[in-house]
């Protein structure tokens, strides 16, 4: 079982419990998720095998507190789960990652009733959760959103389009940010739980993407969707603050995904260079190749330490979490792009083909520099929150 909530773990060492968790997730990922990773990518289909295996092992939403039937895993344990799944299949790692992203607004700001109603089914594996912030015209400037929620008696009526929503259509529950007071910009945005079955909810066609092809990304259409007022998460006007607070914690899960993708590529390349022979010897014997592997491992370890430090800060909700969350996501995703690109290079022409997994890993790595805020946006966030 996942490591239980524990704010005291060492910043730079994982505990025995975390190590055991890693070992068991790695075993599960290699046995039950890796065999389908290439097919899921090739066919652009949802990794149902991964969802089934993660639910059976109670690893699909480990962050859900025990009080609501969850494993109550701490932030580092959640990172480890995502990292190990991403090491074999980045698309599948979006199951635990986006379950946290979608539901964290409820965990952080929801009423007891909302928590009991929505976290229980998530913990049981009966429902997944998506997060609906972005819109066609509001990406980096998310506060410029147009989706509206208008109060009508004891309900709100939602209208608008949310774009790029991960796991849309598969998830039962959606945290939707919508404008309740257009005069107040970010302070006039509120968050709601919308259910897939609510009348007026529908989905666009899956996007045709460069990578993470097994993770459905679709538009969510809200056409006069009427929800009870008690589905609002927190007070009216606090939705944008909740959305940003959520990202402080969940950018660390994207860093984890980046670490896993990079580790998968490094592991593959490390083995390959011992098998491939040129000039009468293994290419691993060339110093030029050794130095590339050394750089890849060095950058990856630096990214891992920063990510684990950020996870410790997430667990304790430290004052400098915003900086660390952005820094971990930005640094680890840049490292994942570099390491996967170098892995393709180390496999030469073979690396450029779909017969080997490293080109998939390189394509999958790219998204980690874009979502939950582009790396330019992370730099804006860091610059505004520099450590003292």
User: Which residue, 5 or 139, has its beta carbon nearer to ligand FAD?
Assistant: 139
- Which stretch, 127-135, 185-193, 289-297, 358-366, contacts ligand FAD (CB under 6 A)? 127-135
Which of 131, 173, 240, 356 forms a contact with ligand FAD (CB under 6 A)?
131
SS (H, E, C) 47-105: CHHHHHHHHHCCCCCCCCCHHHCCCCECHHHHHHHHHHHHHHCHHHHHHHHHHHHHHHH
Which of 46, 164, 173, 356 forms a contact with ligand FAD (CB under 6 A)?
164
Encoded tokens for 284: 């691993």
Q: CB neighbours (10 Å) of residue 277? A: 11
Compute the distance between CA of residue 23 and CA of residue 190 in angstroms, rounded to an integer: 41
Verify binding: residue 370, ligand FAD, rule CB under 6 A: yes
User: Which residue, 207 or 338, has its beta carbon nearer to ligand FAD?
Assistant: 207
User: Which residue, 294 or 383, has its beta carbon nearer to ligand FAD?
Assistant: 383
Binding mask 41-80 for ligand FAD (x = CB under 6 A): ----------------------------------------
Compute the distance between CA of residue 94 and CA of residue 167 in angstroms, rounded to an integer: 8
User: Which residue, 192 or 268, has its beta carbon nearer to ligand FAD?
Assistant: 192
Compute the distance between CA of residue 330 and CA of residue 373 in angstroms, rounded to an integer: 9
% helix, strand, coil for the chain, step of 5? 55, 15, 30
Which of 134, 190, 314, 333 forms a contact with ligand FAD (CB under 6 A)?
134
Is 83 tagged catalytic? Answer: no
Shortest gap between Cβ of 173 and ligand FAD (angstroms)? 13
- Which stretch, 112-120, 151-159, 283-291, 371-379, contacts ligand FAD (CB under 6 A)? 371-379
User: Which residue, 131 or 272, has its beta carbon nearer to ligand FAD?
Assistant: 131
Verify binding: residue 122, ligand FAD, rule CB under 6 A: no
Cα separation values, 166 from 90, 184, 204, 224, 327, Å? 13, 28, 12, 22, 23
Residue 218 bridge partners (DSSP): 165
Q: Which residues in the 173-232 window bind ligand FAD by CB under 6 A?
A: 209, 212, 217
Residue 90 burial by Cβ neighbours in a 10 Å radius (0-12, 13-18, 19+): buried
Verify binding: residue 111, ligand FAD, rule CB under 6 A: no
Compute the distance between CA of residue 129 and CA of residue 184 in angstroms, rounded to an integer: 28
Encoded tokens for 245: 């607070």
User: Which residue, 272 or 331, has its beta carbon nearer to ligand FAD?
Assistant: 331
Instruction: Point out the residue whose Cβ comes nearest to ligand FAD.
Output: 139
Encoded tokens for 340: 């996967």
Place of tokens 């995703």: 333
Using CB under 6 A as the binding criterion, the count of chain residues that bind ligand FAD stands at 21
Mind telling me the catalytic residues?
A: 372
Residues near ligand FAD (CB under 6 A): 130-134, 139-140, 164-166, 209, 212, 217, 367, 370-374, 376-377
């Amino acid at each position: 079982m996942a490591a239980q909530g524990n704010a005291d773990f060492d910043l730079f060492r994982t505990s025995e419990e975390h190590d055991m968790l890693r070992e068991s997730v790695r075993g599960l990922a290699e046995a039950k998720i890796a065999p389908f990773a290439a097919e899921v990518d090739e066919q652009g289909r949802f990794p149902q095998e991964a969802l089934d295996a993660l639910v059976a092992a109670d690893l699909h939403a480990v962050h859900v507190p025990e009080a609501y039937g969850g494993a109550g895993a701490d932030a580092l344990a959640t990172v480890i789960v995502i990292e190990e799944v991403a090491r074999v299949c980045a698309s599948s790692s979006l199951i635990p990652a986006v379950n946290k992203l979608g539901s964290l607004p409820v965990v952080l700001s929801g009423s007891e009733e909302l928590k009991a109603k929505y976290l229980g089914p998530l913990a049981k594996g009966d429902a997944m959760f998506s997060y609906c912030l972005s819109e066609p015209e509001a990406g980096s400037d998310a506060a410029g959103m147009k989706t509206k929620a208008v109060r009508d008696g004891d309900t709100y009526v939602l209208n608008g389009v949310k774009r790029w929503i991960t796991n849309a259509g598969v998830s039962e529950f959606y945290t939707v940010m919508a404008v309740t007071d257009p005069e107040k910009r970010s302070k006039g945005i509120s968050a709601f739980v919308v259910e897939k079955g609510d009348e007026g909810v529908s989905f666009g066609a899956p996007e045709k993407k460069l990578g993470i092809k097994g993770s459905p990304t679709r538009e969510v259409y809200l056409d006069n969707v009427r929800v009870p007022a008690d589905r609002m998460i927190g007070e009216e006007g606090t939705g944008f603050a909740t959305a940003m607070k959520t990202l402080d914690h969940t950018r660390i899960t994207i860093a984890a995904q980046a670490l896993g993708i990079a580790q998968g590529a490094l592991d593959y390349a490390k083995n390959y260079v011992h098998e491939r022979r040129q000039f009468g010897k293994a290419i691993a014997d060339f110093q030029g190749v050794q130095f590339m592997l050394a750089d890849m491992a060095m950058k990856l370890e630096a990214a891992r330490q920063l990510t684990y430090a950020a996870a410790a800060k997430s667990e304790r909700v430290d004052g400098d979490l915003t900086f660390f969350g952005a820094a971990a996501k930005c640094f680890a995703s840049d490292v994942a792009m570099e390491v996967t690109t170098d892995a393709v290079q180390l496999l030469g022409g073979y690396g450029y083909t779909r017969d080997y997994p490293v080109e998939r890993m390189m394509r999958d790595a790219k998204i980690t520099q874009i979502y939950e805020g582009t790396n330019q946006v992370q730099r804006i966030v860091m610059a505004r929150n520099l450590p003292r």
